[in-house]
Chains A and B, each alone.
Chain A
Amino acid sequence: MVIRQAYLALLLSTIVALSGCSDKEKEAGVMAEKPTGVAASPDNTKPAYGDMMIRGSIGDASVLLPVLASDAASGDIIGYIYNGLVKYDKNIKLVGDLAEKWEISEDNLKIRFYLRKDVKWQDGKPFTAKDVEFTYKLIIDPKTPTAYATDFLRVKEFRVLDPYTVEATYEKPYAPALGSWGQSMHPAHLLEGQDVNQSPLKRHPIGTGPYKFTEWKTGDRIVVDSYHDYFEGRPYIDRVMTRTIPDPATMFLELKAGRLDLMTLTPLQYRRQTDTPWFKQNFVRYKYLSFNYTYLGYNLKDWKFQDKKVRQALTTAIDRESIVNGVLLGLGQPAYTPYKPDTFWYNPNVKKFPYDPEKAREMLAEAGWKDTDGDGILDKDGKPFEFTIITNQGNELRKNAATIIQRDLKRIGISVKIRVLEWAAFLKNFINKRNFEACLLGWQTGPEPNQIDIWNSKKIGETQLNFITYQNPTVDKLLDDGASTYNRDERKKYYDEFQAIIAEDQPYTFLYVGETLPIISSRFRGIEPAPLGISYNFIEWYVPKPLQKYQIQP
C-alpha cells in the first residue's frame, strides 16, 4: 500500500517539476530564441551575418581527413572544411576553386593549374603548390589506404613550376582527369613525414574551406564555425551543426519540433506529411532530380536474355510511369539512359520503348516465346519464361519497384520471383559470382560523363562493375574516344551515340531517376535551386537579422 502510494507521488511530482521548465528558459543567455512570426519588411530581407543551421544526418562521420574518407557522412562535413583545385558550378561546368585557371596543352597530355595566391589554411599558413604536390604524393602512396588512387595513378609526371603553378602530365589524354582534381587538398605543413593513419587531423581537420572545425561529439554532433578569412568571403551563417539521428522518423519529429533546420525528405514525407499550412509557413521544400538512376540489369550470359528482342520486349512490358507514381509517389521521372535528364550530356532522342503490353507479347512471339501449353506462362523449347530478380535488403524503393515489375510481367505471361538479400552476401555470392538472372540496383552518377567502368567489355572481372557482361566493341570505342578529348562538344557527340546504342541494345531496363527532396526552415534566404542542387552556394545563404534564431558567440 504505502509503497504504491509513494511511487505515485514520485511520478506526479516529477511530472510537475518537468512542466515547470520550458525551452525558452533553458536556452536563455547565449542562444536566445527570438520570435519567428515577424512580418516581412525591407529590413527583414537584408543579408546579415549570424545564426546557426542544424542539419540532420543518418550516420555519423567516420574520419575528417579527405584522403581516408569514403562515406557520405564524412564527405558532407569535409565539403565545408576543404577545397579542391576545381569544382562544378551550378550549371555543372568545371570552374576553378583553389586554382584560378588552368591550361590544357595542345597534345591534351598536360594540365597546368595556376593557383590562387590569396588562400590561407585555417591555421594561418599560406596555401601553395607544395600542398598540391603533397596531396598528390599522399594519394598514390601505397601505404595510404585510400579509395581515390586510380585516377591519380594515371599521372605520368607531376611538376611544381613555381609556388603557385603545378603541372600534371598524363600518358594518354584522359578527360575525367580534370574533374579528378576536385579532390580536397591537404595541408603539407601539418601532415608531412607523418603516418596519415595516426594524424590528429582525422578528428581535428584543418582546411582552406568556408568553415573550420569546432567540435565533434562521437555519434552525437559535429560543429563547424565560419572561417572569416575564407578566400571567397566570410560565409553569412556563423555555425553549422550536424546532428547524428539514425532513424528517419525521429529526424522528422526533430524537424517538426524546430530542433532541426535541414533534412532530406522521403517521397512519403514530402507528399503526405509536410503539406499542411503550418509546414508551408515554417519551411520551404525543394525538389530536383538526383544524380542516380535505378535499373533492372539482365545477366547477358543467361540464355533467356541473350536475344536483344527479348530485352526490348521486357522493357516494353514494364510500366515505368506506374513505378514512378507508385514507388516515388510521382517524385521522379522514368529513365531511358545512364545520364541525368536535365544535364548537357542527356540524349533525349533515344529509343524509349513506351509501355505497350500487347506489343511486348508480339515481340516475344517473334523471338520464339509463345504460350504453347496454355498454362498462362510463355515458353520456348519446352522451357517456361521464369526468372528471379535479386535486390539488396534495406531499400524499400527497390523492393517495391521489383513488385510492380513482377505484376507487369505476369500480365504478359512471364513468371518472376523476387529475392531480397543482405548486402555483403548479395555482392559476394551473387553479383560477383554472376550467380543471378536479373538484378535491381542503382548507380550514383555524377557530373563526369565517363562510363567506361560500367560498360567496357574488359571490365568483367569479379569485383568489376560490368557484371552483366555487356560486350560491344563499338561502345568500347565510343567510350574510349569520349574520355580522350577535353572538348565538351566533341565528347557529347560520342556520348550521344553511346546512349543511342545502349537504348537499342537494352542491356538494362532503365527504370527511374528519383528526386532529392530537401526541406529547410523558412528563415534561410539565398537558396537558388539549379541543376547541381541547392548546396553549391551555401556560403551565400543567410538569415535576416530579425529572424535569426540562435545567437552565436564569436
Chain B
Amino acid sequence: MIPLLLGITIISFTVMKMAPGDPTSLVTDLNPNMNEETIARIRAHYGLDQPWHIQYLKWLRNMLMLDFGTSFAPDGRPVLDKILERIPITIFINVVSLLLILAIAIPIGVSSAVKQGSLFDRGTTVFVFLGFAIPSFWLALLLMILFGVKLEWLPISGIRSLNYMELSQVGRFFDFAEHLILPIFISAFGGLASMSRYMRSNMLEVIRQDYITTARAKGLDERTVIFRHALRNALLPVITLLGLAIPGLIGGSVIVETIFAIPGMGFLFYQSVMMRDYPTVMGILVIGAVLTLLGNLFADVSYSLADPRIRVGD
C-alpha cells in the first residue's frame, strides 16, 4: 500500500507542476504594479524558486508528520483547516445521496428483473435513463425556479438561511435539511441509472439459476424466493461497488456545488487546481488515495465475508 501511495503522490505532484502557471499567477499576471523584484519575492515566499524534487521532498517530510502544510491560495490558511471545513457537508450529501440511490435503485432493479419486459420495466428504464441523460445543472435551475421562486417551498441556494443564528437546534436542523433537498435529489437522480441497471442485470442472471427453480419447485411463495434467495445473491456485487464508492464520498460534484452555492470539496478541489494551489491539491489527493486503498480493502474483506465461496483456506 505504501509504495502505491507514494507513487500516487509523485505522479500527481509532477503532473501539477508540469501545467503552466503557478500559484502566484493570480497576483502577478498582467498586473501593472508588478516588477521582477516583487514577483521574485512572492515566489520565494511559496518556495517556488527551488527545484521540483526539493519541493516534493519538503512536502513529503511534512506529510509524514501529518502536517498538511499551508495553502498557496491568497488566504494562506492551513490546508487541513480548509479541508476539514468542507468535508462534513460533502460527506453528508454524498452519503444521503448514496443511500437514496440504493433505496430507490435496488427495488427498481429487482422489480424490473422480476417483471422483465412489462410496462413497469420499460417505464422505469425510461425514467432512470432520463435521470442519467438530463444535464444536472439545467434540471437544478428548473427545480430552483419551480420550488424556490414560483412555489417558494424550498430555498434556492446555500446551506443555511439568513436568520440561521436565531433558530433553535431543531429549527436549524430543519433549515439545513430544507436546503439540501434539491442538491441531494439532483445528485441522486443522475446516479440512479447505473445502480438500477446493474441490479437488474444481476437479478436477471440470478433468477435463471437452478437453485431458484429448485426453490420454486419446493413450493415456496414468490416473495421468499425473490427476497430470501435471489436478492441476497444478486446483492453481492453491490458490496464491491460500495467499497469502491468510499473514495467518491469526499469528492463533490463541482457542478452541483457551484449551482447550489454549497461550500464543499468539489469546489475546493477545482479551485485549487485552477489556481495551482499545490499543497491543497496534494492534501486532497492523499486523503482520496488513502480512502481508495481502504475502500478496496473493505470491499475485498466484506465480499469474502458475505460469499462463502471465495473464502481463502478452509
Seen from chain A, the residues whose Cβ lies within 8 Å of a Cβ on chain B are 3-4, 7, 18-19, 21-23, 26-27, 29-31, 54, 60, 62-63, 68-71, 74, 142-143, 145-151, 153, 197, 202, 217-221, 241, 243-247, 249-250, 253-254, 256-257, 259, 423-425, 427-429, 453-454, 461, 463, 465, 550
Contact = CB atoms under 8 A, between A and B. Distances in A.
Interface of B: 19-21, 25-39, 41-42, 45-46, 73-76, 82, 85-86, 103-104, 107, 111, 141, 144-145, 148-149, 152-163, 166-167, 171, 174-175, 178, 257-261, 263, 267, 276
Contacts of B42: 145, 147
A427 B29 contact: yes
A181 B24 CA distance: 24
B149 A256 contact: yes
A70 B26 contact: yes
B33 to A, nearest CB: 5
Closest 7 CB pairs of A and B: A219-B263, A424-B21, A428-B20, A62-B74, A453-B32, A62-B75, A145-B45
A428 B21 contact: yes
B32 A465 contact: yes
Contact of B27 (A3, A29, A147, A425): A147
A63 B162 contact: no
B76 A68 contact: yes
A550 B30 CA distance: 42
Contacts of B31: 70, 147
B33 A3 contact: no
B79 to A, nearest CB: 14
Contacts of A7: 103-104, 107
A458 to B, nearest CB: 12
6 contacts: A18-B178, A30-B163, A54-B162, A63-B75, A241-B162, A244-B261
Contact of B263 (A71, A145, A197, A220): A220
Given A18-B153, A62-B73, A465 B30 contact: yes
Contacts, number: 157
Nearest to A257: B149
B160 A427 contact: no
A148 B28 CA distance: 10
A282 to B, nearest CB: 13
Nearest to A467: B30
A54 B159 CA distance: 16
A294 to B, nearest CB: 14
A241 B160 CA distance: 14
A69 B161 CA distance: 28
A253 B149 contact: yes
B148 A19 contact: no
A29 B156 contact: no
A170 to B, nearest CB: 16
A325 to B, nearest CB: 28
Nearest to B141: A249
A427 B21 contact: yes
Contacts of B160: 217, 220
A219 B27 CA distance: 20
Contacts of B154: 18
Contacts of B30: 427, 465
A461 B276 contact: no
Nearest to B45: A145
B285 to A, nearest CB: 19
A63 B76 CA distance: 8
Contact of B156 (A74, A254, A429, A454): A254
Given A62-B75, A202-B75, A257 B263 contact: no
A3 B153 contact: no
Contacts of A71: 26, 74
B21 A245 contact: no
